[in-house]
Every structure is written in C-alpha cells, then in structure tokens.
Amino acid sequence: MVTGAAGFIGGHVVAALEASGHHVVPLDLRSGGDVRDAALLDRLLAGADAVVHQAAKVGLGVNVADLPGYASVNVYGTAVLLAAMAARDVRRLVLASSMVVYGEGAYDCARHGRVRPGPRRADDLARGSFEPSCPRCGDDVRYAAIGEDAPVDPRNAYATTKLAQEHLAANWARETGGTAVALRYHNVYGPGMPRDTPYSGVAAIFRSALEAGRAPRVFEDGGQTRDFVHVRDVADANVAALAGGRTGCLTAYNVASGEPHTVGEMARELAAQRGGPEPVTTGEYRLGDVRHIVAAPHRAAAELGFRARTGFAEGMKEFAGAPLA
C-alpha cells in the first residue's frame, strides 16, 4: 500500500513500484482516502506485505495556526497507520522523512572541529548576516556533509512532525519486530511539482515564477547550500528500500544526489534553461530556514544499493520545461 499515492512524490513512487513488478494499493486524500481513517486502512491493508508512507502535510508552514494541521496529518495519521499495520501484521514500512529533521547541517570550526550552530537570530538575519558561526568561539565555520547519525534539531512545525513520525515508526518496529526504513529526502524537484503555494518547495516556486514571466525571488543572498535530488531518483530509493533496512528497528538514510548547489545557482540555472528573467536576490528571510544542509549519501549506497542517477544540469534542463501540477 502506498499512502499519498496521488501526490508529487507519491505518484512517481507508484509508477516506479509498478514498473518493478509490485502490485500497488493506493491511498490518497484527493480520492477520498484519509490516512487517519482506521477502518479504511484495515480494509486496504488486507493482504499487504509492506507500506510506503508518503502522505503528509508538507512545507514549512505559514504561521502558528498551521500547527494543528501538521500534527493531525503527520503525527496522528502516522500513529493510526502504524496501529492498523500492527493489527494486520504488516511488517515492513518505508517512511518518507526529510532532511529538515537535522536543522542546520554539519559545520567545522578551525579551532573546535565539528560543531552544530544554534538557530540563527532574527536581528542577524535582518542586517544581512546569514552565515552561522561557531557556537563556542564565534568564529566562521565551513559547512560539511551531514550523515544520518548526526544529532537532530527540528526547527519548524513540519520538521518536528517528520521527526515524530520517525520516533513512532521506531516504536512500532521494536514492538512488532518489523522493519522501518526512513528515507530522509533532501530537496526534491522534478515533473509534477505543485504550483506556487506557500507550501511549495523552492524549486517549484522559482519554476512557477518563470512560467508566469516573473523573475525568481531568491531569499537571503542566494548562498544557501542544498542537495537537489530528482524525483525519479527518490522513487528509485523507495523501491530499493523495500528490500533494505535492519529488522526490529528504524534505519534512516539520506536520499540525495551527493552534488550540492546553492539556491542562487539553482535559480540561475532554471532561468537560463527556461529563457526567463534573471533571478532577483531580495535579502528576505524566513526564521524557519537553515543556511547550509548537504548530505552524505554513503549509507544508502552501501545498504540499499541506491545512488542518484540524474545530474544537476540534466535535471534542471528537464524541469525547466516540465509540467507542474
């Protein structure tokens, strides 16, 4: 069973699973299927041997009023799903998690080695000071790739609920002897992304602006570093995860390209490929955002056999002309 089967990532996951010979039972809110409906889940899980859980309320959220919605769908919905899986003795879960559980990425200080800066301060951001500093000495730091064993530090409602999903899945795995694989997606992009909404990823926001003839508006100074991973690679990771993981516990894996780029680079590449207006760097910021977060993708390669295949230039060229949902 695939939850969120009609969503941006879920649709690609279903296609990849079916192409690999799996029979998929879809569940999606758009077609009347709510992951919080225990009776519906019980019917759909009859005969299932695994669940790929993509359903979630996504994005950073607009304000505090979004908190109940995130908690209801992402946390309560996952709890209902896991209880239904236990009742039907379904022992394998692939969970769509996110790199946002890390908070800021990994950083190295010349004096103190690997450090984890705290949340950036609003007054620093307001005066254009975007780079984190060493929490011990205040010196400049350099970002490094973050591995799955790094401490987690969720900094917005979405991040907090994704981490809660991981904890609930770990509880389920220990209680049932099941296998839970948490795929921590980095910045996913590709055909079928939702159009410009406050909850869209930055790639879709830029792509929507270009389609409308507007210049992409790049927050901060455009130097934020991310790992942009194509949705087809993400779908392939889900297929691989059905055969991986460690029994009786939850194992997390970064799903990423291993090829970091700045947000400004992504905006410029999309604009160039689309032939649209040059991006505008605005200096605006969001308190829930982090500065640099790039992935160490080695565990997924070693344990799941997953490696991203779509390069940045190739993927952005396709995405620049791809349809949005």
Q: What is the pLDDT of residue 173?
A: 97
Task: State how far the Cα of 322 lies from the Cα of 99, in Å rounded to an integer.
Answer: 25
With a cut of 90, say whether residue 64 has pLDDT above it: no
Q: What is the mean pLDDT of residues 253-268?
A: 97
Task: State how far the Cα of 57 lies from the Cα of 187, in Å rounded to an integer.
Answer: 16
Task: State how far the Cα of 12 lies from the Cα of 16, in Å rounded to an integer.
Answer: 6
Please say whether the beta carbons of 305 and 294 come within 8 A: no
Strand ordering across the sheet containing 113-115: 113-115, 106-109, 141-144
The region of weakest confidence among 60-74, 175-189, 234-248 is 60-74
Packed helices 312-321 and 263-274: angle between N→C axes, nearest 10 degrees: 50
Q: What is the pLDDT of residue 245?
A: 83
**2-105+146-321 is classed CATH 3.40.50.720:** yes
Q: What is the mean pLDDT of residues 51-66?
A: 84
**Where are the domains positioned within the chain?**
2-105+146-321
Portion of the chain with pLDDT greater than 70, in percent: 98
How confident is the model over 2-47, as pLDDT tens digits? Answer: 999 999 999 999 999 999 999 999 999 888 899 999 999 999 999 9
How confident is the model over 82-106, as pLDDT tens digits? Answer: 999 999 999 999 999 999 999 989 9
Task: State how far the Cα of 22 lies from the Cα of 37, in Å rounded to an integer.
Answer: 24
Residue 24 CB contacts under 8 Å (≥ 6 apart), including other chains: 1, 2, 5, 14, 17, 18
How confident is the model over 112-156, as pLDDT tens digits? Answer: 999 989 889 999 999 999 999 999 999 999 999 999 999 999 988
Task: State how far the Cα of 170 lies from the Cα of 149, in Å rounded to an integer.
Answer: 15
